[in-house]
Amino acid sequence: MIMITLFRILAPVVLLLGMSATATAAITDFQVVQRIQIKETGSAFFRPVGLVTWGGDDCPGAVYAYITKDIPAYENILALVMASKLNQTPMRFAGDCSDDGRYLLVTYAFLD
């Protein structure tokens, strides 16, 4: 019950705080988060369950979705991802695909 309440509170906040003036370049498929890795710089990397990528049409080879400490919604997105992982709730991300196509810099986070 607490986690459902957390989703209801954080989902709109993350969407509002993550908005920027520029359009996002890629949207992933809905996937369940298997792994969360946080570097000493604060950057957090998210890996989907299984040996799959995050999918989507614009960045189909993205193995990791990630956020950096300097984005305004960093703490909200990280909290949403952690809550999603605990409940095994599928998530979708939108953001900018790296040049090599293996990473997606997250600007939006969505729950299914």
Query: Quick check: 12 pLDDT over 80?
Result: no
> What confidence score (pLDDT) does residue 66 get?
98
pLDDT on residue 80: 95
pLDDT at residue 109 above 70?
Answer: yes
pTM: 0.77
Evaluate whether 105 touches 96 at the Cβ level (below 8 Å).
yes
pLDDT of residue 39: 96
Report pLDDT for 49.
94
Long-range residue pairs from 95-102, CB within 8 A, at least 24 positions apart, any chain = 95/24, 95/25, 95/26, 95/65, 96/24, 96/25, 96/26, 97/25, 97/26, 97/58, 97/59, 97/62, 98/62, 101/59, 101/60, 101/61, 101/62, 102/61, 102/62, 102/63, 102/64
Q: Is pLDDT of 19 > 50?
A: no
Q: How do residues 39-79 score in pLDDT, each as one tens digit?
A: 999 999 999 999 799 999 999 999 999 999 999 999 999 99
- Integer Cα distance of 43 and 19 in angstroms: 19
Answer for the pair 70, 80: CB distance below 8 angstroms, yes or no. Answer: no
Q: What are the φ/ψ torsions at residue 5 (nearest 5 degrees)?
A: -60, -40
**Is the per-residue pLDDT at 29 higher than 50?**
yes
Q: What is the mean pLDDT of residues 3-14?
A: 52
